[in-house]
Amino acid sequence: MARTDAIVLGAGIVGVSAALHLAKRGLAVALVDRRAPGEETSYGNAGIIEGNTYFPYPFPRKISALLKIAFKQAPEANYHLFYLPRLAPWLFAYLRHSSGDAMFEFAERMRPLFAASIAEHESLMREANAERYLRTNGWLKIYRTSRAFDAAKPDLDAIAAAGLAFEPLDLGGSLALEPGLSPVFERGIFWPQAASVSNPLAVTRAYAALFKSLGGIVLTGDARSLHRSDGRWRVDTSEGPVDASNAVIALGPWAPEVLDPLDIRLPLEVKRGYHRHFHAEGNKGLNRPVLDAEVGYAVVPMEQGLRLTTGAEFAHRDAPPTPVQFDRLMPQARALFPLGEPIDAEPWMGRRPCFPDSMPVIGRAPGQAGLWLDYGHAHWGLTLGPVSGRLLAEMMTGDVPFTDPAPYRAERFLA
């Protein structure tokens, strides 16, 4: 095989973006995955590019909310009981990082990535001839009660102070944006500094096609075969072994399978999530993603139909699917929007790779020369894939990084 400068392991939106940015800087890159680009978690997300994100996803604090989750009545969360003992240390760490001063630390450290996320996608979409998938009309968050809207005011005040734009709406203003919704809620917030895509899988495939047009190669292989060989990194593929001086781990929830044998053990856990596509009844439709804040799901117009996405499920990554959250949320979802029959035979399940501080790891792997990390993007893999790929490529090629990469170092977990 011809000279290879870098192997990127993982062909989701994060890995494809990293490989593409490296190829744009003149490196010979091999992108390796067991499946075709975009067919795992990158396929099933809500399609939102969240340039407006400021705080991490909160941990429920109200006793009533915690009790609903505990008794498996909450649409926004589910759990497997036997997994909780293993998960407990991570959950407590997540709780610490999603409250108080830690929320503002997250905001300060992550804002450069979120602020650049839409522009990075727009740039790649122009080059990849994929602009037809992009919507730049924001998204709508609805609140069924004014009480819930008022409870969000402290966070909204902080977001406004940071200069992020949003528009509080009454029922009439919300329905003016989305006339297909039913008036079963009281307030809304329109977030204009967000974009969305109508087909996340197609976007990832378009970026992969652009990568190949720049000379990159896409190979089928097992990332777990990564090892040292004569001072270089080697991975086995269907076309034989591939060697390179640099390797990038962009495997999302599967990264520990490669990193643990290399004595790189970082506190990654998985938030599982589900989606299912539905027809719309009559001539109703949606113009943009809509999040039902109190119930904890999103309904998003996609090329495949209206995609209904659930909140988090805490379970072993490879445990059998348990999409019970659909049973809990469907009555309220149908009351909000006239969803028709499901298009998919069964709900689809994905796995969000999450660190307890809700930030990805981007940069050098500790103690392993030539090994780089780009994973753990939590709920924002689609949002941050291109911008984290750019940052990683700048670091790997010696360019001046567009933002300080220090907050994303793996060593923050090893001190």
pLDDT of res. 2: 62
Last residue of a domain, one of 301, 317, 352: 352
- In the Cβ-directed half-sphere of 119, how many Cα atoms lie within 13 Å? 6
Last residue of a domain, one of 320, 335, 352: 352
Higher confidence at residue 61 or residue 220? 220
pLDDT of res. 110: 98
pLDDT of res. 394: 98
- pLDDT digits over 288-342, tens only? 999 999 999 999 999 999 999 999 999 999 999 999 999 999 999 999 999 999 9
How many structural domains is the chain composed of? 2
pLDDT of res. 279: 96
89 is a domain residue? no
Look up the pTM and report it. 0.97
Last residue of a domain, one of 329, 352, 375: 352
91 is a domain residue? no
- 289, 188 in Cβ contact below 8 A? no
Examine the domain organization and report whether 22 and 74 are in the same domain. no
**pLDDT confidence tier of residue 136, bands split at 50, 70 and 90:** very high
pLDDT of res. 67: 83
Exposed/middle/buried for residue 328 (C-beta within 10 Å: 0-12, 13-18, 19+): buried
CA–CA separation, 187 and 191 (whole Å): 13
295 is a domain residue? yes
- pLDDT digits over 229-239, tens only? 999 999 999 99
pLDDT of res. 64: 82
How does the average pLDDT of the chain come out, rounded?
96
pLDDT of res. 65: 82
Examine the domain organization and report whether 72 and 201 are in the same domain. no
154 is a domain residue? yes
Examine the domain organization and report whether 245 and 366 are in the same domain. yes
- pLDDT digits over 40-96, tens only? 989 989 999 999 999 998 887 788 888 888 888 888 899 999 999 999 999 999 999
- pLDDT digits over 153-193, tens only? 999 999 999 999 999 999 999 999 999 999 999 999 999 99
Examine the domain organization and report whether 282 and 344 are in the same domain. yes
Examine the domain organization and report whether 211 and 174 are in the same domain. no
Sign of CA dihedral 226, 269, 57, 303: positive
- pLDDT digits over 328-386, tens only? 999 999 999 999 999 999 999 999 999 999 999 999 999 999 999 999 999 999 999 99
pLDDT of res. 1: 56
pLDDT of res. 283: 86
% pLDDT > 90, the chain: 93
